[in-house]
Amino acid sequence: MRLLLDTNAYSALMRGHPEVARFVRSADRIYVPAPVVGELLFGFRGGDRFQWNKDQLNAFLAAGPVEFVPTDQTVCDRYALVLQQLKAKGRPIPTNDIWVAAHALALGADLLSLDQHFGAVDGLSWVCP
C-alpha cells in the first residue's frame, strides 16, 4: 500500500496511536506532502520544543520508505479539479486539505487522515483509523 499522511495522521503516529501505526507499518511507501510539512513546522514553532520536533520530523522523512512530496504541475491540476468538484457540491474543506488530497490523487496513494471531510473528495482513497 502507498500511503500519504495528513498532518493529523503524522501527529497521531508520533503520539503512538495504535491504528495509525498499524497503517503506517503496513505501507510499502509513505508520502508526506509539502503542505503537511508546512503545517507541522507551523505547529512546532508555536510550541516549546521546536528543534526536537523538527529533528523528529527530519528523521522520519529520512527513513527508508518515506518520501517528501513537493507540489508539481500534476498536483496543481488535481488541486483545481478537487476545488471545482467541492465548489459544485457546496462542500468546502480547508485549503491545505485540498492540497493534501491533490497530492494523494496525483500519486494514486491512500490518504491517511482523521478528518471526515475528505469523504467529500471524489475519487480519493481515504482511510480513517
What pLDDT score was predicted for residue 54? 98
Q: Provide the residue range defining the domain that includes 92.
A: 2-127
What pLDDT score was predicted for residue 129? 84
d(CA 17, CA 81) in angstroms, rounded, equals: 32
d(CA 21, CA 18) in angstroms, rounded, equals: 5
Beta bridge partners of 4: 31, 111
Q: What stretches in the chain show pLDDT beneath 70?
A: none
Cell 509513505 belongs to residue: 30
Pairing type for strands 2-5 and 110-112 reads parallel
Counting the structural domains of the chain, the total is 1
Burial of 36 (0-12, 13-18, 19+ CB in 10 A): buried
CATH of the domain at 42: 3.40.50.1010
